[in-house]
Structure 1
Amino acid sequence: MIGTDENREIVEWRKTTEDGQTVYVIEYSEPVPEPAGRSKTPFGASSGGTVPARTQYVQLPDGERIPATEAAFDAEGTTLRVRHRPSVLDRIRRYLPW
């Protein structure tokens, strides 16, 4: 869960960098469950099977969007940490001369 619902609100959030990766630390007013993660099938279950998993994204509090396949979540109590982990292909592309 990223965002709010009828029982849970974002109290505070911050964007940091750890080990060269962007991390969002989001504090909620109530305990937050860890998101289920990305779909194992090529189509996302939450979309009714109409949106390919590779085009799903996570929208963060500052409006930044990251591909759902590159998001890692860690929930503890009222804190949700969202880490942006670029795909292996994206990391390789940075080092190629083309």
Structure 2
Amino acid sequence: MIGTTEDREIVDWEKTTENGRTAYVIEYSEPVPEPTGRSKTLFGAGSGGTVPAGEQYFEMPDGERIPATEAAFDADGTTLRVRRERSVIDRLRRYLPW
């Protein structure tokens, strides 16, 4: 589950829609850092090996999985805002001829 640890747990959360895209506002019991890349608990050796970038995801409190390539974050104290945005690759495909 995104942002949880042995000491930090989810206190409350809300799922909303912003500009037609899914967004979550998650409140934790302790300050939460903004995710900055691959979490050892989500990806890599802790899960039995490496996971291809296209298969990495963040699991939200309601069980929805947001692909890591589509997740954008804003952290402020104990609150983490997670937005689902089109991936950089999807945005580039719109402009490139291939």
- Report the equivalent of 1:42: none
CA contact (8 A) 2:3 2:32 kept: no
- Report the equivalent of 1:25: 25
What SS does structure 2 have at the residue aligned with 1:32? coil
Q: Provide the TM-score with structure 1 as the length reference.
A: 0.75
- Report the equivalent of 1:64: 64
Distance in 2 (CA, whole Å) between partners of 1:26 and 1:61 is: 8
Q: Provide the TM-score with structure 2 as the length reference.
A: 0.75
Residues 1-98 of structure 1 correspond to what in structure 2 (within 5 A)? Answer: 2-37=2-37, 46-48=43-45, 50-87=50-87, 88=90
How many residues are treated as equivalent by the alignment? Answer: 85
Deviates more, 1:54-63 or 1:3-12: 3-12
Shift of 1:47: 0.8
The CA deviation string for residues 45-77 of structure 1, in whole angstroms up to 9 with x for no partner, is x41462111110111000001110000011000
The alignment yields a C-alpha RMSD, in angstroms, of 2.3
CA contact (8 A) 1:71 1:82 kept: yes
